Chains A and B, each alone.
Chain A
Amino acid sequence: MKQRTKIFNGFSFSLLLLLSALFLFPIYLVIINSFKSKFNIVGTPFEFPNEDTFVGIENYINGIQSSGIVGAFFRTLFVTVASVLAIVIFTSMTAWYITRVKSKFNKIVYYLFLFSMIVPFQMVMFTMTSVCINLGLNNVIGIIPVYLGFGSGLSVFMFSGFVKSLPKEIEEAAMIDGCSPLKTFFMVVFPMLKPTAITVAILNAMWIWNDFLLPYLLLGSTDKTLSVAIQLTMQGAYGSIDWGGFMAMLVLAIIPIIAFYLVCQKYIIKGVIDGAVKG
C-alpha cells in the first residue's frame, strides 16, 4: 500500500511538473522571442536566441518608442486605481444605505443592480458609447464614472451581502455615541467592511486593467490603454508588423500583472473565490 502511494505520488509530481512547463511555455516563448531580431521570429520561433539572433533590448526600445506603451501603461494605471477607489467607496456607501434604509425604491434599485450583472456588454455597447460621448465622458477622467456604473452591479451585491451579516447594534451604538450617518459609515462601518472591500477592489482591478472594449470605444487611439495599444499596433500593421517590438510590448504588458500577482497572491485567490461563489 505504502509503496503504491509512493509511486503514485512520484508519478503525480512528474505530471504536475510537466503541466507547469506547458503552462509556462507560451509566456516563455514570448519572452525569448522578445530578445530576437524581428526577422528571426517568424522563421524560427522556438529557437533560443543565439549569437546571430540576439538583439539585446533593441526590441524593447523600438516597442516603447513606436507604440506609446509607456504612456498607455501609466494611463491604464491611473484609470484602474481611480476607478477602483471610486467603486469601493461609492458602492460600499450605496450598499450600506440600501440595505439599512428599507424602502420600495431602494429595493428596486438593488434589483436593478443585480439585473445589470447578467446583461452582456454588447447589449448597451452602442447606446452607452453615444450617451457617454454626448456627456463628454470620453476621456481618462470621464471614464471613471463609467467604470463606477458598470462595476456597481457586482460590487453593490457583494457589499450588501456583507452588510446584511453585520449586527445593526454597532451602528446604533455609534449613533448614540454622537456620529452622523456619514461618520458612522466611515469610522465604524467601512472598517468592518474591509475584507469585502479588498475582494471588490481585486475583482474590479483585474477587470479594468485588462479591459479592452470600453476604453477602445470611449478613449480610442488618442488615450490608449494597454490593451488598446496592443490591439491597435496589430490592427494598424496590416501584416508589416515589427514582431520584435510587438513581443516586447506583450512582455511589458504581462510583467506588472505577474509582479502584482506574486505579491498579493493570497488576496487575489481569496478574492476570486469569494467573487465566484457570491457572483
Chain B
Amino acid sequence: MASISLKNIKKTYEDGVTVIEDLNLEIKDKEFVILVGPSGCGKSTTLRMIAGLEEITDGEMYIGDKLVNDVSPKNRDIAMVFQSYALYPHMNVYKNMAFGLKNRKVPKDIIDKKVHEAAKMLDIEQYLNRKPRALSGGQRQRVALGRAMVREPAVFLLDEPLSNLDAKLRTEMRSRISMLHKELQTTFVYVTHDQTEAMTMGDRIVVMKDGKIMQNDTPQMLYNHPQNMFVAGFIGSPQMNFIYCKIVRNTDGYYAQFENYNIKLPDRMNDALSLYTDKEVVLGIRPENIHLAKDTKKKSFEMYIDIAEMTGSDYYLYGKLGGKNIIANVPSNMQIKSDTTCSMLIDTDRLHIFDKVSENLICD
C-alpha cells in the first residue's frame, strides 16, 4: 500500500519534444485517482513514468517514501493493465497470470492458490488453459486484470483499460473495476480519455491538457465548479454551452447581454463582476440547466428547435438562441418536435462566468 508523489516532474523525449513541463501531483494511499484528458495531454506519459517505463527528465517521483526515479519497473511494486491487454500470446491464461509470481520465486502452491482466487473473482476460471487468442476482448481484459491482481502490488496502474471494449462491456467492466478497488484496498491510478469513465469511477479526477493539470478535484466539484473553460467543456455530456456576452451594470445588479437578450445575474456574483463591467466574458450554461418554461413569464426565452433528440429519459434539444447554437437537456415527459419554437428558462443559479482571455473562472 502506498501513496505516490510527483514533484516538479518534467518529461522531454529524445527528439527534444517536451510533453510535461512541471507537474506536481499527490496521490494518497488507497485512493482511486483518474487521469483524464484529450489524447496527447500527457496522461499516459505520466502513468508510464509512475510505472518506470518512461524515464523522468527532471523532478522527483516517490512511491511510499521511496525516491523511485532510478528504480526499474520490476522493483517499484506496481502492476499495470494495458489498453491492448499485452497478454503473452504463447502462454495460456494460467501462465500469463502466474508469470510475474514465478519470476519473483513465489512457491508453486501459493501461486496456484492466488491464480485460482483471482480467476474466481473475475469469472475466468474455466478459461485457465486457453491461450489469449481463444478469448473474447472482455475475457482478455479480465485476464489482464487478474495478472495484475495476483501480484498484490502496492499500486495498480491502468492505461485506458476499457477503450478496446464495446459499449455494453465497458459499462459492465467499469463497475467491476470499482468493485475490485473496494476489495483490494490498493492505490489505483487510472488513465482514460473518456469523461464518463472518469466521473463514474474515480475518488478524485485529474484533468490534464498539454502536459498541465487543469483541475484536480472530486467528480462533484469538477462538475459543479469547473475552474476553467477547458474543464467545463470536457466534463459533462452533452457539452456545456458557452455564450460570449457583455457584462452590463444596471440599477438592480449585473446583467449578461448578448444580441437582444439580457440575463440577470445573481447578486452573489456582484463583487467578482465589478471588475468586468462593460467587458466581454464567456457565459457557461450546462444543457440541463436550461429548462422548458412552464408558463411564458418575462424571464423566459424563445428557442428555435432544429433537432429534438430523444434519448429515452431525456430530450437533447439542438436549437438556436438568437444566432447562437445551444443544446438543452430536458426530461422527456412531454413530446417535443423538431422545427418548433419553445420557450426556455435559464437557471441563473447554475451559471458559470469565465474570463474571455485566460479562460479561467470568474465566478459561479
Contact = CB atoms under 8 A, between A and B. Distances in A.
Q: Within the complex, are A and B direct neighbours (CB within 8 Å)?
A: yes
B73 A102 contact: no
Contact of A175 (B53, B82, B83): B53
A43 interface: no
Contact of B86 (A102, A173, A183, A194): A173
Contact of A176 (B14, B74, B90): B74
A170 B80 contact: no
B78 A176 contact: yes
Interface in B101-122: 103-104
- Residue among B86, B87, B147 with the highest chain A CB neighbour number at 10 A: B86
Interface in A170-210: 170, 172-179, 183, 187-188, 191-192, 194
B88 A170 contact: yes
Interface residues of B, number: 24
B186 to A, nearest CB: 15
B80 A192 contact: no
A236 interface: no
Contacts of B16: none
B72 A175 contact: yes
A194 to B, nearest CB: 8
Contact of B103 (A169, A183, A191): A183
B89 interface: yes
A201 to B, nearest CB: 18
A188 B88 CA distance: 7
A173 B96 CA distance: 10
A102 B14 CA distance: 9
Nearest to A190: B90
A120 interface: no
Contacts of A26: none
A177 B100 contact: yes
Given A169-B86, A188-B88, A192-B89, A176 B79 contact: yes
Nearest to A175: B73
Nearest to B89: A192
Interface residues of A, number: 18
> Looking at chain A's contact residues, is the secondary structure mostly helix, strand, loop, or mixed?
helix
B103 A167 contact: no
A170 B72 CA distance: 16
Nearest to B51: A176
B99 interface: yes
B161 to A, nearest CB: 12
Contacts of B89: 170, 191-192
B3 interface: no
Nearest to B53: A172
B88 A179 contact: no
B44 to A, nearest CB: 11
A167 B100 contact: no
Given A102-B14, A175-B74, A192-B89, 12 more contacts: A167-B86, A172-B80, A172-B82, A176-B51, A176-B74, A176-B100, A177-B103, A178-B100, A178-B103, A178-B104, A191-B90, A194-B90
8 nearest CB pairs, A to B:
A178-B103, A177-B100, A169-B86, A191-B90, A173-B86, A178-B74, A169-B82, A170-B86
21 contacts: A167-B86, A169-B82, A169-B84, A170-B86, A172-B80, A172-B82, A172-B86, A173-B86, A173-B88, A174-B88, A174-B99, A175-B72, A175-B73, A176-B51, A176-B52, A177-B74, A178-B104, A179-B103, A183-B103, A187-B99, A192-B89
